[in-house]
Amino acid sequence: MWLDKPRNPNAPHAGLKVVELARVLAGPWVGQIFADLGADVIKVESPDGDGTRKWGPPWVEREGPDGETRREAAYYHAVNRGKRSIVADFKRAEDLDRVKALIADADVLVENFKTGTLAKFGLDYESLAQLNPRLVYCSVTGFGQTGPRAHEAGYDFVIQAMSGFMALTGEPQGQPMKMGISISDLTCGLYSMIGTQAALAMRERTGRGQHVDMALLDCSVGLLASQALHYQVTGENPPRMGNEHAQVSAYGVFPVSDGQVVLAPANDGLFRKLLHVLGRDDLLGEERFATNEARIANRAEIDAIIAEATSGFALEELLTACAEAGVPAGPIHAIDQVFADRQVKARGMAIELGGLPGVRSPFTFSEAELALDRPSPMLGEDDE
């Protein structure tokens, strides 16, 4: 055990020891989720620290144990909550021995070095499995441990391009667009968490750990879901459709008198309810709008009709009417509006630890709780 007592004995992963040899986003995202779930996560950083400590602005300033004010990037704090930090230079024998001693009784190791790099230091899975046969070792790379691109570095933007995400995102006549968040990194972090927990569950049966090989490209391709099946079934690339839905109509962004609204009547029953809300019951008998397939064939016409009707409503007026009728609808929020939203507030998504703001991992349990007890560590904070 890393600690005499778990950080929160009622957290799902209380008592689990995780060593993180990771930096930037995908790997640290795994570590932060483990930390929120109660694991003791030891982040091993180079003497220069995780590079994201310098990825500002914006910056966060706080007082260090020496009384001096330290400035670090907000980006770093977004993915390193709840961890401990030690500094190690793998080229120094004493530092390497110290890291291996940490790993000797660890449950999980998370790393995101380029394929083959850690083998130079005896920190690869094959070497560490001899030291700790129960170790679940999760590697997060751009392209995985095998294949012609295995030794190449992978970056979120590149993976979004290669995975098909960008070809599917943006306006039909516009430029392919990346998403506004690092979706490939974050998704790989989530899939890595799932894979690592699956290996831990299997360890309960076999008594042995294993290597979990996670690739950003694999995870992003795995998210293609219905878009992949569109191609696999038809042999044709699915179109880029902006805010429209390839298989559902009418479904999109529509004008209101004071802005825009998202409407998502995803079946015939919801569409009929929407027509009633909009005061267009006269269209209920129209065959060209009676089914989803018919509406897709007449998409431009029905979208124009709905847009004309919604423009006569104020946003809150239409949202209230849709909610009462059971029609899925919502505002388009900027980030400040997200955290002012009463539902987001009710769910307690915004948190503060040690004077640092953050967003909690979105798990709510009936018999457990998260371990939200410490902010992101300063570099080398736990060296002693």
Closest Cα partner for 78 from 59, 98, 93, 104? Answer: 59
pLDDT of residue 2: 41
Region 162-177 average pLDDT: 95
Q: Which percentage of the chain shows pLDDT scores above 90?
A: 88
Which domains are present in the chain? 17-223+353-359 (3.40.50.10540), 252-336 (3.30.1540.10)
List, by residue number, the catalytic residues: 185
CA angle 383, 190, 30 (to 5 degrees): 5
Please report, for residues 22, 88, 116, 181, 193, the alpha-carbon distance to residue 45 in angstroms, rounded to integers and kept in the order given: 8, 6, 19, 25, 21
The tens digit of pLDDT for each residue in 235-253 reads: 999 999 888 888 888 899 9
pLDDT band at 354 (very low <50, low <70, confident <90, very high): confident
The tens digit of pLDDT for each residue in 312-322 reads: 999 999 999 99
pLDDT of residue 1: 35
pTM of the model: 0.92
pLDDT at 192 over 90: yes
- Are 230 and 239 in contact by the 8 Å Cβ rule? The answer is no
